[in-house]
Structure 1
């Protein structure tokens, strides 16, 4: 059975066309024509996927693989590892490149089910899901694992469990991966600890490169504007100051534990010239890099 077709087309049929195999969708739909799959596997994907009817939520099993979505100048990337999810909102189209094979399970979420949850949380109004690619959300991933395990069991107790677990998943999606979340989260508490860790880890791994706000905002799953506000609430620092502090701390380590020339250290922590590095280092330490090294 398929959900009603729209201008885009049923999501599981669209996936079947680009994957050359049909997702194992359970025949019996849940409330609101929501569909589940059991865990399954498919190979690599390098193709354009058109807009679909309804939202597609995916979690992953087995060995991690790189996953990338592109549309024009837009790009999202991640890994298909345990504890992460991908969200393809209704009508969202673009090119997908996924190294395979990967283990997956899917929830095909009709707009009606999302609207029911949105009504309870926001009192009405349209709520849009955000696109996610290999995005860290252990709670949502765990719920989806449970749904995948129970999907093929059609007795009364399993049916009750899957309906309630799906409600929990939808609530998590609205709270953490929607326009409602983007508006509410910064005003409430800033970034979650895992978001600060993810952004900080990325900064540390790319200290020698230019790092733009758009990339950091994507990592946290927020717009650029909301990310800057939320980051300041969570850390007391702007993203720029946080990055500069990480660069200076790394420079201190290199000055203390290596014989690298100061010019090389400047490049290693993201400064194009020794003078820019010295100015930034002096502002935060009160001395030049050379003097810092001499006093060790």
Structure 2
């Protein structure tokens, strides 16, 4: 279950992400591991990467990846770029980085020690729903925020258990990892802006360039839509599309599409007798459990309770 010579798929992915960010290739893996004393703690849904010895960070952007990343510098990292923001990351801070966000050091940085926490989006969203959070899916401020003492303590406990061999080690590590994700959500997630669904025929100024993609989302919200597919509707690359869309509509394309799906789900829950699973599928959710989790976070109610509250007695 935990990182060893035989990695799980999750640990392999985390290590691959780290290698991309450190600009390392597969042929240098052993040499790089020895030089950096890289440790990967694999808890399946959460992985922690430690640099036991200082590393040199290359200049320019690191590759983006589909995971939530929480970066904790143990030494100063000046001029750290996240999207279009430039930050000075100092020891004692934590920097949340959303999936798909390009980030890196503008001028490179030598002798850096850090901790990286990686969490899969689906797990983080699902756990947030179980917490009964009214917050939208996975909204975090990309800023150098104070590292909370309870999070530092939980990381220390995880590392301590990983390096030990006491009975119940794996069970305890899994529990500690879940508590760590809960604390990350509690301390660093923010209330999401509730997007207003725009009329594609009544856009203003720079919003006109998104007319085609807005119409596409409203007409085909029941389909699976990747960011690349949405970006292609505007003739943009994914990075530029996400940044420009959020600038114009104050929310990400992902949250805007989710709003369209939830709005239509509410209509079907009130006006039809379709099952929750059927409505979820018709509104573009891959499963009933996923639909319920997203709906709960958006409205504070499960689909069933929402339906009962809106139906006439």
Superposition TM-score, scaled by structure 1 size: 0.48
Greater gyration radius: 1
Superposition TM-score, scaled by structure 2 size: 0.46
